């Protein structure tokens, strides 16, 4: 993945999240010097299996599991300091050395209890099916210019006024929702006071660090959270998260120039999933949905919610290839399809009698869309031990070849199981 021409690589999800980026980043991080998370917050959940131990990381890049790799949380992330330290403490308890190699952008905005309260009490957020981690309200405060950044903790004398200003806004929202709950300002100040020394010890100008590392020849992996179809601009708005999940967000969210990015790897499942409400054109019927959910253990790493499942959607992934400028794809969880008699790929949508092969921005059109499928015979044998493309059964290779030609991007990696070594393409 990394060579003299490709030193800064972005990894993005090219569907609705949960594509298996954590595992890919974990494996690629072995060859990286830096791994930087550039957006989202504790709404993400990466499960990484090492031997018999599973790590679920919400905010810390999975590169942390490799000794010597430096990890950073970029300015584009909304950081929940309480859960950050819970995560750090759990890693340390499991024997991971975090000391001196985890940095937090001093420009990152904080997720405070008021954000989680507003997220939980808002019926609009419930209708979207948010993760309840306060992500939307924290980004709203950031864009509304009333957020609190990590660097504000350097000025304790100003904190009370900042917290009170945020609380005033949150309380007005809560009152509008008809909620009787209100923000506890003294408790918030107490929490910030308690966390301040620990958080400031990690605070850095991450953009500058990454820039310098790159100039010195380091390899840098920029890790996205969620997926392209949850991007606030390019996703299925309003059923999206509140950040720029696509590769454009990697530049602003890590604090480096777009021209510093050399390649973008898109991660896709061999089928499609989404959590929460919103369109999923290729969604399975209940029976197949339940079967694939069980085979793929499709339950949210953050909320435990069952994920909705469907066939691979070529319209979605082709769109993701275009908006992210994907230079290659990693197809994950191919093994989940091993027992199916036949598999399908969606090649276009029929809307009002016309076939579309571009993903529409208008959800009304998507509501009326009927997927058009190409069917493939299933391979009905285990792919779990395949380590080279040639090891895969011919029908599985035909399936992957069609994905490549349909979405206009080469497949660089295929993962066939949860373990680190179950990846084709790492040679
Ligand atoms: P929020 O990010 O909590 O505001 O949730 C907004 C939408 O994004 C909801 O549909 C969530 O289910 C979805 N979402 C947020 N984070 C993830 C993730 O890591 N994987 C999949 N979906 C997510």
pLDDT single digits (tens) 186-197: 999 999 999 999
DSSP string, 261-272: --EEEEEEESSE
Question: Is 280's C-beta closer than 6 angstroms to any atom of ligand 1?
Answer: no
264 strand-pairing partners = 10
- Give residue 43 CA to ligand 1 midpoint distance, Å: 6
Average pLDDT over every residue of 314-323 = 98
The answer to whether 311 and 282 have CB atoms below 8 angstroms apart is yes
Close Cβ partners of 366 (under 8 Å, ≥ 6 residues apart): 236, 279, 281, 349, 360
Specify the pLDDT at position 26. Answer: 87
276 Cβ closer than 6 Å to some ligand 1 atom: yes
Residue 426 has pLDDT above 80, yes or no: no
CA-based Rg of the chain, rounded to a whole angstrom?
21
Residue 102 has pLDDT above 90, yes or no: yes
Residues catalogued as catalytic? 18, 46
Contact 59, 90 (CB under 8 A): no
pLDDT at 427 over 70: no
Q: Is the CB of 128 under 6 A from ligand 1?
A: yes
Nearest-angstrom CA–CA distance, 410 and 121: 44
C-beta separation of 221 from 11 below 8 A: yes
Which ligand 1 atom sits nearest the alpha carbon of residue 243? Answer: 2
Q: Which residue's CA is the closest to the ligand 1 atom numbered 20?
A: 17
pTM of the model: 0.96
Using the atom order of ligand 1, give the atom closest to the CA of residue 305: 12
CA distance 59 to 186: 26
Residue 76 has pLDDT above 90, yes or no: yes
Q: Cβ atoms within 10 A of the Cβ of 349, count?
A: 23
H helices present in 228-276, as ranges: 247-254
Task: Name every residue whose Cβ is closer than 8 Å to that of residue 292 and which is 6 or more positions away in sequence.
Answer: 271, 284, 298, 309, 336
Q: 394 C-alpha to center of ligand 1: Å? A: 36
Question: For the segment 320-377, what is each residue's pLDDT rounded down to a tens digit?
Answer: 999 999 999 999 999 999 999 999 999 999 999 999 999 999 999 999 999 999 999 9
The more confident residue out of 426 and 123 is 123
CA 69 distance to own-chain centroid: 20
Provide, rounded to the nearest whole percent, the portion of the chain with pLDDT above 70: 100
């Amino acid at each position: 993945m990394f060579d003299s021409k490709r030193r800064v690589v972005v990894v993005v999800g090219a569907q609705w999240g949960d594509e298996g980026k954590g595992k890919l980043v974990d494996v690629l991080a072995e060859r990286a010097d830096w791994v930087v998370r550039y957006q989202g917050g504790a709404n993400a959940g990466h499960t990484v299996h090492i031997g018999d131990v599973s790590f679920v990381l919400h905010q810390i890049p999975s590169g942390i599991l490799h000794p010597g790799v430096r990890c950073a949380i970029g300015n584009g992330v909304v950081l929940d300091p309480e859960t950050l330290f819970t995560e750090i403490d759990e890693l340390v308890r499991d024997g991971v050395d975090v000391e001196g190699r985890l940095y937090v952008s001093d420009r990152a905005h904080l997720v405070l209890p008021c954000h989680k309260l507003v997220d939980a009490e808002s019926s609009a957020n419930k209708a979207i099916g948010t993760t309840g981690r306060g992500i939307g309200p924290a980004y709203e405060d950031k864009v509304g210019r009333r957020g609190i950044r990590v660097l504000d903790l350097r000025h304790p004398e100003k904190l009370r006024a900042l917290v009170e200003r945020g609380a005033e806004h949150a309380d007005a929202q809560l009152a509008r929702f008809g909620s009787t709950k209100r923000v506890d300002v003294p408790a918030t100040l107490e929490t910030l006071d308690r966390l301040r020394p620990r958080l400031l010890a990690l605070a850095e100008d991450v953009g500058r660090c990454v820039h310098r590392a790159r100039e010195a020849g380091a390899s840098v992996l920029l890790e996205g959270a969620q997926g392209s179809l949850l991007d606030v601009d390019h996703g299925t708005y309003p059923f999206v998260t509140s950040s720029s999940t696509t590769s454009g967000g990697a530049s602003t969210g890590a604090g480096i120039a777009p021209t510093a990015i050399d390649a973008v790897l898109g991660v896709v499942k061999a089928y499609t999933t989404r959590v929460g409400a919103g369109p999923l054109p290729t969604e399975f019927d209940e029976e197949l949905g339940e079967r694939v959910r069980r085979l793929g253990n499709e339950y949210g790493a953050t909320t435990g919610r069952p994920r909705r499942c469907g066939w691979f959607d070529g319209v979605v992934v082709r769109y993701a290839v275009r908006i992210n400028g994907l230079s290659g794809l990693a197809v994950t969880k191919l093994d989940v399809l091993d027992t199916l008699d036949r598999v399908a790929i969606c090649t276009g949508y029929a809307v009002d009698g016309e076939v579309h092969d571009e993903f529409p921005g208008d959800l009304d059109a998507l509501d009326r869309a009927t997927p058009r499928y190409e069917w493939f015979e299933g391979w009905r044998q285990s792919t779990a031990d395949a380590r080279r493309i040639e090891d895969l059964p011919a029908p599985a290779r035909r399936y992957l070849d069609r994905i490549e030609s349909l979405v206009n991007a080469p497949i660089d990696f295929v993962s066939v199981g949860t373990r680190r070594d179950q990846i084709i393409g790492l040679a």
